[in-house]
Amino acid sequence: MRGNVFAVTVELVVLTVRDGRLQVLLVRREMAPHAGELALPGGFVRPQEDLLETAARELAEGTGLALPGHHLEQLGSYAAPDRDPRGRVLGVGHLALVPAGSLDTTPVGGHWSPVEETGPLAFDHAVILTDGVERARAKLEYTTLAASFCPEPMTVTQLRRVYEAVWGVEIDPRNFNRKVTSTPGFLLPTEERTSSGRGRPAQLFKRGPATVLHPPMLREPPAQ
Amino acid sequence: MRGNVFAVTVELVVLTVRDGRLQVLLVRREMAPHAGELALPGGFVRPQEDLLETAARELAEGTGLALPGHHLEQLGSYAAPDRDPRGRVLGVGHLALVPAGSLDTTPVGGHWSPVEETGPLAFDHAVILTDGVERARAKLEYTTLAASFCPEPMTVTQLRRVYEAVWGVEIDPRNFNRKVTSTPGFLLPTEERTSSGRGRPAQLFKRGPATVLHPPMLREPPAQ
DNA sequence: CTAATAGTGTCTCTTAGACAGTATGGC
DNA sequence: GCCATACTGTCTAAGAGACACTATTAG
């Protein structure tokens, strides 16, 4: 067969919302190259694996979270000739969204870091992280993906906190409530309500079958 | 280095609008595997090339079109273990949009086919084609990418025909005109007008600097 | 009672969609 | 004149943003 020969890895951008901020799962590399530096979790694709299988396996190994039940999608591939000193390595970035609270214990060998406070990362992982964060921000606009950041069941306020954390903006609670509850299939009401908490108990919802938002929820102010 | 070894190819979904229909550039394979079958243009990534460089080179070889001036973006990677009988080959799909009329001569070794009328394609190229078409359809909603399908300068009607062909819908010319001319930076008016044609001459526009549409142009009817 | 959070209602402004009507060319 | 295409104007309905207000809990 003609052509150059590559090793292929999968890199994971695992995002969650903790303490009101968008955070990413990072690991410290134990082996060369870039030993001791922070990096995205990931690893080599095995002989009989498809890309999504590798990503799901790495997610399970790194966080203990299993599919289905968590959002996982491919971001894109990165193959600059000099991105890995060992030779030509093509990295396929993936985006995973996990609900807050599903990883109360610190994940094995990794830790959470606010996406705006990650220092330099190994390889080109900073670029992959930027692309993953932007993908997540964009998808909140026109899909119901924000619910993937929330445990089930959830309150409308929890969902709104996700939008505020991911976009870094404040959203009017009343207009937000009207928007999400009037979008068919976004949130399915249950009969239950929150029990703890200081104020009036909130109604609990489950994720609905809708995947796209029509019309979308736009984040940018009417740009001048 | 651990891990499996891959060959890496770039596959191109080159789209244009001809005769009021969305069409894709296909080539007939000369060599095994899948000799004689229709396929997307593409080829192996060379030792010192990045993915976008390979895609630009293949686009130039297959169509004679050179970057910059044409839209080219990565779609995603396809790496099912059995997608190529020669062994493990990872294919990176790319989407290219070329203006109608920039390829009046039939491209070397290829031909245009309406996207709804392509028969079976070699490898998993039908999947890549579907993903590319859906990406193009989605991007028309919230970007100014439709202008990449038009030669410069263009009329508002030409731009509307692009939306109608890509989405397969009819759009009210008057509302469309109001929408695109009131979006800052989408179309830049010129002093020129069309000379040939049967009716009133139309004003000619150039592509503006805007890349995103705020608010977007939604394609789906208020779904019930 | 007060504080805190949840949820509803109302008004305005913008914009999409559905039309009618006018303008300017070729023939 | 006629026809074709380009372009403008007007009305209506839907949704976003900006508020005031009510509801239900803990203390």
Mind listing the pLDDT tens digit for each residue in A114-154? 999 999 999 999 999 999 999 999 999 999 999 999 999 99
Residues of A with Cβ-Cβ distance to B217 under 8 angstroms: none
CA distance B88 to B7: 7
Candidate from A99-113, B89-103, B142-156, B194-208 with smallest mean pLDDT? A99-113
- Check pLDDT > 80 for residue B106: no
Given A140, A172, A197, which residue is the final one in a domain?
A140
Whether any strand C atom is under 7 angstroms from the Cβ of B200: the reply reads yes
Q: How many domains does chain A divide into?
A: 2
**Mean pLDDT, residues B59-82 taken together:** 88
> Would you call B76 and A76 a contact, using CB atoms and an 8 Å cutoff?
yes
Query: Could you tell me which chain B residue has the CA closest to the CA of A53?
Result: B80
**What does DSSP assign to residue B65?**
-
Q: How confident is the model at residue A221 (pLDDT cuts 50, 70, 90)?
A: low
Percent of chain B with pLDDT over 90: 80
Regarding whether B154 and B127 lie in a shared domain, the answer is no
Picking from B9, B50, B223, the nearest residue to A81 by CB comes out as B50
**Mean pLDDT, residues A150-169 taken together:** 96
Supply the pLDDT for residue B195. Answer: 86
Whether any strand C atom is under 7 angstroms from the Cβ of B217: the reply reads yes
Between B89 and A3, whose confidence is greater? B89
* Structural domain that includes position B100: 7-140
Supply the pLDDT for residue A164. Answer: 97
Other C-beta atoms closer than 10 Å to the C-beta of A45 total 27
Supply the pLDDT for residue A109. Answer: 74
Whether any strand C atom is under 7 angstroms from the Cβ of A187: the reply reads no
Regarding whether A162 and A112 lie in a shared domain, the answer is no
- Check pLDDT > 90 for residue A192: yes
Nucleotides of C under 7 A from a protein CB: 3-10, 14-21, 23-26
CA distance B194 to B154: 9
Pairing of strands A5-18, A89-97: parallel
Regarding whether A177 and A74 lie in a shared domain, the answer is no
**Mean pLDDT, residues B99-107 taken together:** 66
Regarding whether A129 and A201 lie in a shared domain, the answer is no
Residue A94 located in a structural domain: yes
Supply the pLDDT for residue A156. Answer: 97
Regarding whether A185 and A114 lie in a shared domain, the answer is no
Residues of B with Cβ-Cβ distance to A47 under 8 angstroms: 4, 81, 88
Regarding whether B170 and B77 lie in a shared domain, the answer is no
Residue B212 located in a structural domain: no
> Across all residues in chain A, what is the average pLDDT?
91
pLDDT in tens, B63-72: 777 777 789 9
Residues in chain B: 224
Between B103 and A34, whose confidence is greater? A34
> If we measure between CA atoms, which residue out of B60, B61, B56, B65 comes closest to residue B92?
B56
Q: How confident is the model at residue B107 (pLDDT cuts 50, 70, 90)?
A: low
> Would you call A6 and B7 a contact, using CB atoms and an 8 Å cutoff?
yes
- Check pLDDT > 60 for residue B223: no
pLDDT in tens, B152-198: 999 999 999 999 999 999 999 999 999 999 999 999 999 999 988 78
What is the distance of C-alpha B129 from the center of its chain?
Answer: 10
- Check pLDDT > 50 for residue B146: yes
> If we measure between CA atoms, which residue out of A28, A85, A56 comes closest to residue B1?
A85
**Mean pLDDT, residues B8-37 taken together:** 94
Supply the pLDDT for residue A3. Answer: 54
Beta carbons within 8 Å of B175's beta carbon, 6+ residues apart: none
Given B99, B120, B140, which residue is the final one in a domain?
B140
Supply the pLDDT for residue A107. Answer: 67
Residues of A with Cβ-Cβ distance to B134 under 8 angstroms: none
Q: How confident is the model at residue B222 (pLDDT cuts 50, 70, 90)?
A: very low
Distances (CA, A) of A24 to A71, A150, B160: 15, 15, 42
Regarding whether B152 and B133 lie in a shared domain, the answer is no
Between A85 and A64, whose confidence is greater? A85
Question: Closest Cα of chain B to A224: distance in Å?
Answer: 9
Residue B107 located in a structural domain: yes
Specify the CATH number for the domain of residue A180: 1.10.10.10
Regarding whether B170 and B91 lie in a shared domain, the answer is no
Residue A22 located in a structural domain: yes
> Across all residues in chain B, what is the average pLDDT?
91
- List residues bridging with A20 in a β-sheet: none
> Would you call A5 and B4 a contact, using CB atoms and an 8 Å cutoff?
no
Query: Which site among B45, B46, B83 would you substitute to test the A interface, given the most A Cβ atoms closer than 10 Å to its Cβ?
Result: B45
Residue B1 located in a structural domain: no
Residue A214 located in a structural domain: no
Specify the CATH number for the domain of residue A136: 3.90.79.10
> Would you call B8 and A87 a contact, using CB atoms and an 8 Å cutoff?
no
Query: Could you tell me which chain A residue has the CA closest to the CA of B221?
Result: A214
Question: Closest Cα of chain A to B76: distance in Å?
Answer: 5
Question: Closest Cα of chain A to B116: distance in Å?
Answer: 24
Supply the pLDDT for residue A222. Answer: 40
Regarding whether B55 and B134 lie in a shared domain, the answer is yes
CB A218 within 8 A of CB B215: yes
CA distance B57 to B51: 10
> Would you call B8 and A86 a contact, using CB atoms and an 8 Å cutoff?
no
On the CB side of A14, CA atoms within 13 Å amount to 32
From first CA to last CA, the distance across chain A in angstroms is: 54
- Check pLDDT > 90 for residue A46: yes
Regarding whether B203 and B121 lie in a shared domain, the answer is no
CB B186 within 8 A of CB B202: no
Residue B17 located in a structural domain: yes
User: Which residue type, as a one-letter code, is found at position B78?
Assistant: Y
Regarding whether B78 and B17 lie in a shared domain, the answer is yes
Regarding whether A94 and A43 lie in a shared domain, the answer is yes
Residue A80 located in a structural domain: yes
The angle, 0 to 180 degrees and rounded to 10, between the axes of the packed helices B173-181 and B156-167 is 110
